[in-house]
Amino acid sequence: MSKNLFDLTGKVAVITGGGGVLGGSMAVSLAEAGVKIVILDLHKDAAESRAKEITDQGGEAIGLAGNVLDQDNLELVKEDILSKWGTIDILINAAGGNMPGATITPEQTIFDLSIDAFRKVSDLNLNGSVIPSLVFGKVMANQGTGVIINISSMSVAQAITRVAGYSASKAAIENFTRWMAVEMAHKYGEGIRVNAIAPGFFIGEQNRALLTNPDGSYTERGNTVIRKTPMGRFGVAEELNGAIQYLCSGASKFVTGIVIPIDGGFSAFSGV
C-alpha cells in the first residue's frame, strides 16, 4: 500500500504567462501529473499552441488570451474557467520579466533610468501577480482550498546590475507572497497556501541577448553568472518543476509564505 503525497490528479491550474518558457514548462509538467491546465497569456497564439502541445500528448488544457494587468478581463476568464471546470485549485503567476527599456546599458548610470520603463516593469512584475491573485484567489477563498505560486528572482537578495525596476518589483512580490499567505491563513484557513520560487538563471527570450552571443558563447555577463553559480551552468526550465509539484501538492500542506531558491547554489555563494 502506498500513498502519493504529491498526487495532483484532477486539479485545475491557471498558469499566467504559460505561453512563455518557464510557465510553459510548468504547464506541461502539471498536465503530466493529471492537472487540467488553463494557459493564460497576452499572446493568444502562444497560449493556444502550448495547450495543443498538452492535448496532443493526451493531457487536458485550454489556451486563453488574457492580460494580467486587466482585472475586468481576468474576471471574464475566471467565469469561463468556472463554467468549464467548476473550480480553480492552483494559480501560478508566471507572467513577468524584464523589459528592454527598463535595462540600463553598462555605460549608463541610474540617472539615465527611464521612469516610464521603471513603472511599466514594476506594474507587470508586481501588479501582474497581485491582480490575478485577487481574482482567482477569491475562488479559493470561497472553496477554502487553493495554492498560489509567485515567481521571484535572484535579483531580490543581492543587487544584479542594470535591472533596477525588475529587481525592485520582484522584491515587492516576495513581500506580497508573505503578506497574502498570512492573510489567507488567518481569514480563510490553512487550506489556502501562497508561496514563491526564486529561479536562478535560465536562458529565455528575455535574457538570451544579455547572457549569450549569437554564436552561443557566453557574454561577459553570462560568464559572471556562471562563475557565481557553484554548479557552473544555467538552469533548464524543467528543473523548476519538482518544486512546483511540491508546492502545489499535499506534500507541502504545512508550508506557506516561503520562497524556494532553485539556482544551482547561486544564492549560497559569495562569489569568492
Residues 179-208 that bind ligand NAD (CB under 6 A): 199, 201-202, 204-207
Is there a contact between 10 and 32 (Cβ–Cβ < 8 Å)? no
Residue 97: φ, ψ to 5°: 130, 175
Inter-CA distances, 19 with 11, 39, 96, 119, 132, Å: 20, 7, 12, 24, 16
- Please state, in angstroms and rounded to a whole number, the distance separating the CA atoms of residues 53 and 62: 10
Which residues make beta-bridge pairs with 11? none
- Please state, in angstroms and rounded to a whole number, the distance separating the CA atoms of residues 154 and 176: 16
User: What SS3 state is found at 103?
Assistant: coil
102 counts as binding ligand NAD under rule CB under 6 A = no
Interface mask toward ligand NAD for 26-55; x: CB under 6 A? ---------------xxx--x---------
Select 132 or 146, whichever has its Cβ closest to ligand NAD.
132
Select 155 or 256, whichever has its Cβ closest to ligand NAD.
155
225 grid coordinates: 553568472
Interface mask toward ligand NAD for 64-83; x: CB under 6 A? --xxxx--------------
From 62-70, 74-82, 212-220, 264-272, span contacting ligand NAD (CB under 6 A)? 62-70
From 18-26, 140-148, 224-232, 248-256, span contacting ligand NAD (CB under 6 A)? 18-26
Binds ligand NAD by CB under 6 A, chosen from 11, 13, 17, 252: 17
User: End-to-end CA distance of the chain, in Å?
Assistant: 49
User: In the annotation, is 166 catalytic?
Assistant: yes
- Please state, in angstroms and rounded to a whole number, the distance separating the CA atoms of residues 72 and 230: 45
Nearest residue to ligand NAD, by Cβ distance, number only:
20
From 16-24, 80-88, 136-144, 176-184, span contacting ligand NAD (CB under 6 A)? 16-24
Active site residues: 166
